[in-house]
Amino acid sequence: MSLLEERWRGVLDGMAEAVRRAGREAGSVRLVAVSKFHPASDIAELCRLGQLDFGENYVQEARAKQAELDGLGIRWHAIGPVQTNKAKEVAGRFFLLHTLDRADLARALLRRLPEGETQDVLLQINIGEEPQKSGVAPSGAEALCEELLKGGLVSSEGPGLRLRGLMCLPPRCGEGEEARPYFAALRQLRDELSQKTGLSLPELSMGMSGDYRQAIEEGSTMIRVGTDIFGPRPVKA
């Protein structure tokens, strides 16, 4: 077994154990393998083993890998910040965009989405209100949701942008228990938003190497794990 396969299986085991410990249903958490900076050959190897969800941060890198790995049935997740002028490269081209955080990006995506198609999105929440991080502040999330809904920019059904839930990259991420309170806060915010807007928001994208067990215990439905699967990231050339 290759080191890559061994690491990947280790994460699957860790996930399954956390799911069990939390008393959750087997299969209720999706593993998104974060492949940024790693070669397409690593992605192809995991793909052959049955790993089909991959996360990329940079639109250009993701688009190049999509072209190279076309036809393998990969579900690509866009998990990095998206500039409005890149909307054309994202709309309709990813299984899920995790980082919608403003109305002007929603407008740009919708404009670029082919008629009749659906692009699933998550709202990125800056759960620790850190100035350097993207995402809408928790206190602004309801207003953004209302703006997106009233403007017809998102809905709970397709076609168009379909809002599926929330994502966060908390302070102290990757640090196990330090991150847990932020995961709990994201879940609570989801429950509140869901109640206030009538949207079901079933997905919570939270947890990475170093804290995915805690995230699963706090209700994550999607963990984004890079280092624990692929090893340390090569330095970007």
| Near ligand PLP by CB under 6 A: residue from 171, 174, 194, 197 | 174
CB of 135 to ligand PLP, least distance (A): 10
Rounded Cα distance between 90 and 49, Å, is 27
CB of 119 to ligand PLP, least distance (A): 18
Cα angle for residues 19, 22, 25 (degrees, 5° grid):
50
Does 155 contact ligand PLP by CB under 6 A? no
**Where does this chain touch ligand PLP (CB under 6 A) — which range of 68-76, 100-108, 111-119, 218-226?**
218-226
Rounded Cα distance between 209 and 175, Å, is 9
| Near ligand PLP by CB under 6 A: residue from 15, 33, 46, 57 | 57
CB of 196 to ligand PLP, least distance (A): 26
**Where does this chain touch ligand PLP (CB under 6 A) — which range of 41-49, 88-96, 184-192, 226-234?**
226-234
Whether residue 159 is preceded by a cis peptide bond, meaning omega within 30 degrees of 0, is: yes
79 vs 145, which CB is nearer to ligand PLP? 79
Beta-carbon count within 10 A of 90 CB? 24
Beta bridge partners of 168: 125
Rounded Cα distance between 234 and 237, Å, is 9
Q: Strands, DSSP E only, in 12-146?
A: 30-34, 53-56, 75-78, 96-100, 118-125
Site string for ligand PLP, 35-54 (x = CB under 6 A): -x------------------
Which DSSP symbol is given to 136? B
154-155/160-168 β-pairing: parallel
75 vs 111, which CB is nearer to ligand PLP? 75
- Check residue 24 and give left, alpha or beta (phi > 0: left; psi -120 to 50: alpha): beta
| Near ligand PLP by CB under 6 A: residue from 105, 201, 208, 215 | 208
Residue 77, helix vs strand vs coil: strand
| Near ligand PLP by CB under 6 A: residue from 35, 51, 126, 209 | 209
36 vs 187, which CB is nearer to ligand PLP? 36
Q: How far is CA 142 from the centre of its chain?
A: 20
Does 220 contact ligand PLP by CB under 6 A? no
Contact 157, 143 (CB under 8 A): no
Does 14 contact ligand PLP by CB under 6 A? no
Task: Identify residues 64-83 at the interface with ligand PLP (CB under 6 A).
Answer: 79-80
CB of 34 to ligand PLP, least distance (A): 4
- The contact set with ligand PLP (CB under 6 A) reads 34, 36, 57, 79-80, 169, 174, 208-209, 224-228
